[in-house]
Amino acid sequence: MRDYLWLYQHALEQKGGAEPLEALLPSPKTAVELVQAGDSQFLSALCRRVFRAGLKHSMVDAKWPAFEKEFFGFSPEKLVLISDEALERAMQNKKLIRHWAKIKSIRQNALMVQEASEANGGFGRFLAGWPEEDILSLWRYFAREGSQLGGNSAAYFLRMVGKDTFILTRDVVAALIAQGIVQKHPTTKGDLAAVQYAFNNWREQSGRPFCQLSLMLAFCVG
């Protein structure tokens, strides 16, 4: 596995120098910023990610005010009590994206957010307290406890709300394969552990967050 210096130099070459590279790199939110956000904000972003999967993001975003209105501003306390009949009525609302599995996932994801919030003094506190050096366990938590949150959906949600994570995009995986960290798209426990180990090493060497390292790695393929 190549060290961070190689990664940085290669990203510099691809983007034409330090200034244009740094302008492209995102920054995660601080723990304080995560704690200050409300549970409804997190649930709204989580459900929006579910609906974005496989659909044009701009179309989902344009319809989201209608979702906010239909689903009580994404209040977890209200949505854990929503009935099957109410969910079925939402399927008749032409202002929404009428995808039954995704509509139905809203209640289950509300329950997940509420339970994590109650156990940790807020969902933002739950996210802020999760160690990034084991971020893959948080992905697995969402896939297990939530609904429609497999694949990269949990990682994309975390990126949306500002919790630091890498994302296994096609380019990132190609770069990981090129460096011999994995031989194919990582799905096994061993391969995923190797990916986490690599990112942990690069973060320790550089002091950079995963979101920046992930994008820099993707630049190595471009």
In whole angstroms, what separates CA 59 from the centre of its chain?
Answer: 19
Separation between Cα atoms, residue 8 and residue 206, nearest integer Å: 9
pLDDT digit string, tens, across residues 94-139: 999 999 999 999 999 999 999 999 999 999 999 999 999 999 999 9
Are the beta carbons of 210 and 199 closer than 8 angstroms?
yes
Domains and CATH numbers, the chain: 4-28+166-219 (no CATH), 32-161 (1.10.340.30)
DSSP, collapsed to helix, strand or coil, labels residue 157 as helix
pLDDT digit string, tens, across residues 151-172: 999 999 999 999 999 999 999 9
Separation between Cα atoms, residue 179 and residue 132, nearest integer Å: 22
Are the beta carbons of 34 and 163 closer than 8 angstroms?
yes
User: What are the CA-CA distances from residue 72 to residues 49, 75, 92, 110 (Å)?
Assistant: 18, 6, 17, 12
Look up tokens 């009590």; give the residue.
Answer: 81
pLDDT digit string, tens, across residues 16-61: 999 999 999 999 999 999 999 999 999 999 999 999 999 999 999 9
State pTM to two decimals: 0.95
Separation between Cα atoms, residue 143 and residue 72, nearest integer Å: 24
